[in-house]
Amino acid sequence: MQRKITNIAHRGASSYAPENTRAAFDMAINMGVKHIELDVHSSKDGRLVVIHDDTLNRTTNGKGNVADRTLKELKALDAGSWFDHKYSGEKLCTLEEILVEYKSAVYLHVEIKGNTPKLAQKTCDMIRDFNAIEKTIITSFWKPWLIETRQYAPEIKTGWLVPMGPGSEWNDSIISDSLNHRFNQICPRADLVTPSLVTKLHDNGFEVRCHGVFTEALMENVVECGADGMTINFPDKLISYLKKKGLAID
């Protein structure tokens, strides 16, 4: 069977449009991408909101913690101008809105970021409510969210982003831990993946999709190492590279 690489638009086509907004997701889909990645936090009133950071400071015109604001307050913010004034109409989205608008078009890689109680369960409930189990995988750096997902909704796929923290290194206990918890996917950082690591993870039954693909050199490394896919801020460049190499794109 021909090898296929999964091209996951990281926070949407986030090199070109404000991350985790409709503008970035729509741009990725217009490029031909079939997978988008997004980050989930809880608002003060318990709604699941799509934003990367714990705070509003970097990617909106607001200040302070996401978890300290109600959805109504979050919806009043501008989530596009920080990137370019032409995106000044962009609003933060809820996970519910993303499921409504994008579930039929793409697969969703939902990363749980926040630290409010039962956030994984609430995310699973939302995915179940929208019959999106086949179109979704839950990922996290924070293993307890994945364990909560496995216990609460074993039918939903899980992927562990590893290792935790930019300076941290690979440790084979990641494999035994992932086997113990029956995670489906291991997501190594792109700068530490090697062909032998990919082989070892495949031999243990895991899908391997990388994160932290900040340059085209890292993108090429992930492909050459034999990984199954990656999140990437410039999915158009991955499409071009895979076409050049004669590899199929998922």
Provide the binding-site residues for Ca ion, judged by CB under 5 A: 39, 111
Report whether 249 contacts 3 (CB < 8 A). Answer: no
Listed in sequence order, the DSSP H helices in 2-157 are 22-31, 71-75, 95-102, 119-129, 143-152
Site string for ligand G3P, 179-198 (x = CB under 6 A): --------x-----------
Q: Which is nearer to ligand G3P, 27 or 187 (CB)?
A: 187
At closest approach, how far in Å is the CB of 60 from Ca ion?
A: 17
Report whether 90 contacts 104 (CB < 8 A). Answer: no
Name, in order, each residue with C-beta under 8 angstroms of 244's C-beta and a sequence gap of 6 or more: none
For residue 95, the partner it binds in ligand G3P, Ca ion, none, with Cβ less than 5 to 8 A by kind, is none
Cβ atoms within 10 Å of 131's Cβ, excluding its own: 10
Q: Which is nearer to ligand G3P, 43 or 185 (CB)?
A: 185
Instruction: Select from 143, 211, 221, 242 the one that contacts ligand G3P (CB under 6 A).
Output: 211
143 binds ligand G3P (CB under 6 A): no
Residue 10 falls in the annotated catalytic set? yes
Please classify residue 46 by burial: count the beta carbons closer than 10 Å to its beta carbon, then call 0-12 exposed, 13-18 middle and 19+ buried.
middle
Closest CA to 11 of 166, 194, 182, 213: 213
38 binds ligand G3P (CB under 6 A): no
Site string for ligand G3P, 86-115 (x = CB under 6 A): -------------------------x----
CA distance 220 to 155: 33
Q: Could you give the residue numbers annotated as active site?
A: 10, 52
Interacting residues with ligand G3P (CB under 6 A): 10, 37, 39, 52, 111, 161, 187, 211, 231
